[in-house]
Amino acid sequence: MTGPVLQAGALDLARTLSSGQTFRWTWSRAADGAAEAMGVVGRRVFRVRQDERGLSLLAPETAEARTALVSYLGLAAGAGTIARIEASLATDRVLAHVLPHTQGTGILAQDPWEVLISFIVSANNNIPKISQSIERMARALGEPLDGGAFAFPTPERLAGAHPRTLAACLLGYRAPYVRAAARIVADGRTDLHALARMSPGDARDHLLGIPGVGEKVADCTLLFGLRHTAAFPVDVWVQRAVERLYFRGRPRTVRQIQGFARGRFGPLAGYAQQHLFCYARTRLRPGPAGPGGTRSRSLGSEGRRSARPRRSAIA
């Protein structure tokens, strides 16, 4: 029996957890075909499921865990928040066509420390390897949890890690950045919770002073860790989507795209970014990928008639 259903509103669990903002969730197929997700949040190992009945927490079965999950999923402000935000975004002509493919994508309330390190690791990297590196860091340096899982390492543990340990996590040339960032946080030069109380601009400036943190990683930390929803991280996918959908495929600099996003989406830019990112990942992907064979190469505002190809939900 699945436990009581949570008030998820319009949240789409699969889309949210696979939208590139977190790297610690895996998927499995339940006996009845529904997708179940397992992930480490803080010191808890969550098992979550979403089907026709709604969203349910399979484990841990405690009231505290339920509260923590609701908070983590960004539902603390109320289950209707996502629907309201999407209604607002839909007033944008382009997003109105994007949203049918991406609706339900929420923004998680993650630990800014974990977000910071995860996105330092993400630089010039690919998603499977990012997940693998993070998993190895947890296994090597994190607190053991139930079920053979491990918590994300603390700043102190990561700062004190032997270079060989970090090398075994396949961090490559990012290892010194991870180490330096961990030291800065561990010794208090950066107080991530204090950053949460600063203005987004000041917090961003501070983050940019951390080794391995450029504009993209700083904006990801602002958005996913500090919940500054005006932040607009521009990665290659978002850049691609904005150029295609808003500039007729003409190249734009990251600077131009940031300025565009700020003016066009304002305080909801972060949400717009999530939808554009998901859209690009599922529909603007060049070349063949996945079991379905070749993907459509057609780009731009055409090609939005058929249902999107169901990506196998394996993280």
Per CB under 7 A, residues contacting DNA are 19-21, 122-130, 167, 170-174, 177, 210-218, 220, 233, 235-237, 253, 255, 277
Can you tell me the distance from the alpha carbon of 207 to that of 73, in angstroms, rounded to the nearest whole number? 24
Nearer to DNA (CB atom), residue 38 or residue 284: 284
Can you tell me the distance from the alpha carbon of 123 to that of 82, in angstroms, rounded to the nearest whole number? 29
Nearer to DNA (CB atom), residue 30 or residue 236: 236
Closest distance of CB 218 from DNA, Å: 6
Nearer to DNA (CB atom), residue 200 or residue 214: 214
Whether omega for the bond prior to residue 60 falls within 30 degrees of 0, making it cis, is yes
Closest distance of CB 307 from DNA, Å: 22
CA distances 283 to 14, 107, 204, 288, Å, are 17, 20, 31, 12
Closest distance of CB 255 from DNA, Å: 5
Entry field: residues in the chain: 315
Nearer to DNA (CB atom), residue 255 or residue 310: 255
Burial class (CB in 10 A: 0-12, 13-18, 19+), 255: exposed
Pairing of the two strands 44-51 and 54-59: antiparallel
Pairing of the two strands 5-6 and 54-59: antiparallel
Nearer to DNA (CB atom), residue 6 or residue 107: 107
Whether omega for the bond prior to residue 128 falls within 30 degrees of 0, making it cis, is no
Closest distance of CB 110 from DNA, Å: 12
User: Do 269 and 229 meet the contact criterion of CB atoms below 8 Å apart?
Assistant: yes
Closest distance of CB 68 from DNA, Å: 23
User: Do 206 and 212 meet the contact criterion of CB atoms below 8 Å apart?
Assistant: no
Nearer to DNA (CB atom), residue 145 or residue 170: 170
Nearer to DNA (CB atom), residue 6 or residue 113: 113
Can you tell me the distance from the alpha carbon of 230 to that of 238, in angstroms, rounded to the nearest whole number? 15
Other CB atoms within a 10 A radius of the CB of residue 174 amount to 22
User: Do 39 and 17 meet the contact criterion of CB atoms below 8 Å apart?
Assistant: yes
Closest distance of CB 217 from DNA, Å: 3
49 has which bridge partners? 36, 56
Closest distance of CB 120 from DNA, Å: 7
